[in-house]
Amino acid sequence: MKVGLTGGIASGKSTVSALLAEQGAMIIDADALAREVVAKGTPGLAAVVAEFGDTLLTADGDLDRPAMGALVFNDEPARRRLEAIIHPLVFERTVELEAAAGPDDVVVHDIPLLAESGRADTFDAVLVVHVPEDVQVERMVRDRGWTEAEARSRIAAQASPQERLAIATHVIDNTGTHEDLRHRVAEVLAELVG
């Protein structure tokens, strides 16, 4: 079974992903793969440097992710050029990982921007982790040290809650306790394999 997992920034999607893994699901994390394909020494990093220049490298030769993020966050053409390099590499790696899954495995694709990608219909089920915007803002201010304006700007750059909920086959509310969340994740996993 191929499952998409998504949620807005600071919704708790990573926590849900970890709980799914703990309960036996195979996780394919798009963000982790996006980092992997541009790691030092990879063809992906060489392609990024060829496109954007070596000023985006740290002194150690790694991709300076904050500098790259700052460059592409408000520059859509630059973001598209970066995505044209990274997305095919992530897709290739995803196919390799999926091929390693067993026939009875639940393979969860952790994709932050699933609603934005238009790929929700490629999954057997889509799990959306949901919290109200004020909770997202509170978490980003508390946990990441961002200002409220920075937090709201990041939220506005993503799909709306309505757009995410429209692709959901299962909604995982993350406004309760960690135990509430663990219980809901177990429920959803049981429904998926049941």
**What domains can be seen in the chain, in order of their start residue?**
1-25+106-194 (3.40.50.300), 32-105 (no CATH)
Per-residue pLDDT at 112 exceeds 90: no
DSSP code string of 52-91: H-GGGB-TTSSB-HHHHHHHHHT-HHHHHHHHHHHHHHHH
Per-residue pLDDT at 6 exceeds 90: yes
Q: What's the whole-number average pLDDT of the chain?
A: 94
Per-residue pLDDT at 194 exceeds 90: no
pLDDT level of residue 117 (50, 70, 90 thresholds): confident
**CB atoms closer than 10 angstroms to residue 89:** 18
Structure tokens belonging to residue 20: 């799914």
**Stretch 20-34: mean pLDDT, rounded?**
94
Give the model's pLDDT for residue 69. 87
**CB atoms closer than 10 angstroms to residue 111:** 24
Q: Return phi, psi of residue 29, to 5°.
A: -95, 110
Instruction: Say which range, 113-117, 136-140, 160-164, has the weakest mean pLDDT.
Output: 113-117
Q: Return the SS3 of 111.
A: coil
Q: What is the DSSP letter of 119?
A: -
Instruction: Say which range, 75-79, 125-129, 170-174, has the weakest mean pLDDT.
Output: 75-79
Give the model's pLDDT for residue 30. 86
pLDDT tens column, 59-110:
999 999 989 988 887 798 999 999 999 999 998 999 999 999 998 899 999 9
CB within 8 A of 63, min separation 6: which ones?
38, 39, 40, 45, 48, 56, 57
